[in-house]
Structure 1
């Protein structure tokens, strides 16, 4: 593999492995849920695949999005260092407190705006609800199931509007997002039907393939880029199950299952 910097794209995304996704849009480079550790055990979770590209290959990064910091499959040791060293990191309020500057915490439906270097105005980042487990799961004192987690919607003049799910398993949350943001063009959906022993009777804490297809239909998107469906032993579904679910829903034309490190356009 070449050691060259990852080339800039006009408006595209690439999944590097696990949840880690690079989005280039409006002249900005955005990195979602950085995980760059080598394979191996991380507490009760085990990583089986390293990233397609390491953090030193990403060049100048304008924004890091962290859906949550409670689990190492979404923010591992090198990912945490990457987020702390970033120019700007947006995440949930609790994670922002733990990460410290430059992290900024966003409550659900809060918006952060940053200027675009392409001269097209601003990129708007909207924090949106996410539920990291079954709707009837036990809630903590803050009302979270499993942990505090968020999704994001990225938008701007002349750009496709992109939903980044984070570890959301809730179709109610997807429906609320569709009502709040009626025109979403593309979705980066964490899938894999993650199941963890001792939690929620081993029910999924992230979307399975059928819920990912349902989310795509509810949102009305024209592009779906799946993430977080391989590289860890707690995923119960992979690429094949995603392909089957979208085929059974008649939505295969939406699915972009490129090899990790390969770009997919965000416009349908």
Structure 2
């Protein structure tokens, strides 16, 4: 391992900025929604902060999760190259068609077993639904708002069950996930109340802070790790809003916020 390589953990998560999370779990290193470009405009979106850890410093990665491939704040140019070089990418069917190998496209409520690196059998990667905008917005031929977006639930024997929301704005969808999967231990929630004036009259495309707290109340996890609330100009709410919303909901004890690039333990100890 080089002196700058991000040290492996037994069971932990770190947010690198934007939506990009690194999870070390079950002897695997997993990266969700890789974004590694430098700050710059990306069409109608503008990135203001680069990643806390560069892709070259992550070491070998076993799995990449891509919630959706069409928006650069979730998969930018260097993030796309990073995903294409991974041994396995799990995403939605339309995203997989566009990305090509090594992407595997799974519809909601479908799963993929990934052999664990710790000898504990398989890690199950379950794709769950997400709604990237208001519930009443127009939907495409596949029933998606804005575009196809996937969330993920990771689980395995002796491991915490981890939900990664992707860009979801729907509490109804969170409730469905909770009903089907009542034992979520950790929720990595994309928050920030992303807004684009030309889309859906500027209404949120992802969870605002109050909806993030409501999602936490519905899921009832041991801890919540917020992501995707900074680093881009289209976020209308930040960390202070999240802290306030969780405090007003009486859920501050669930919220875990560490500096980008620092680890949050996911095990129960």
Report the TM-score, using the length of structure 1 for normalisation. Answer: 0.98
Distance across 2 between alignment mates of 1:169 and 1:139: 14
Judge conservation of contact 1:223–1:267 (CA < 8 Å) in 2: no
Distance across 2 between alignment mates of 1:3 and 1:73: 29
Counterpart in the other structure of 1:87? 87
Large movers: runs of 4+ above 6 Å: none
**Aligned pairs (5 A) from 1:86-235:** 86-235=86-235
Distance across 1 between alignment mates of 2:37 and 2:244: 30
What SS does the aligned partner of 1:183 have?
Answer: coil
Structure 2 spans left out of the alignment, 5+ residues: none
Paired positions, count: 267
Deviation string, structure 1 residues 143-184 (Cα, Å, up to 9, x no partner): 110000010000000000000000000011101100111100
Judge conservation of contact 1:185–1:267 (CA < 8 Å) in 2: no
Judge conservation of contact 1:222–1:267 (CA < 8 Å) in 2: no
Counterpart in the other structure of 2:238? 238
Structure 1 spans left out of the alignment, 5+ residues: none
Deviation string, structure 1 residues 117-168 (Cα, Å, up to 9, x no partner): 1111110000001000000011112211000001000000000000000000
Deviation string, structure 1 residues 11-65 (Cα, Å, up to 9, x no partner): 1100000000000001000000000000010000000000000100000100000
Displacement of 1:3 after TM fit?
Answer: 5.3
Counterpart in the other structure of 1:74? 74
What SS does the aligned partner of 1:132 have?
Answer: coil
Distance across 2 between alignment mates of 1:14 and 1:99: 25
Distance across 2 between alignment mates of 1:163 and 1:216: 11
Displacement of 1:4 after TM fit?
Answer: 1.4
RMSD over equivalenced CA pairs, Å:
0.9
What SS does the aligned partner of 1:30 have?
Answer: strand
Report the TM-score, using the length of structure 2 for normalisation. Answer: 0.98
Counterpart in the other structure of 1:57? 57
Distance across 1 between alignment mates of 2:179 and 2:142: 25
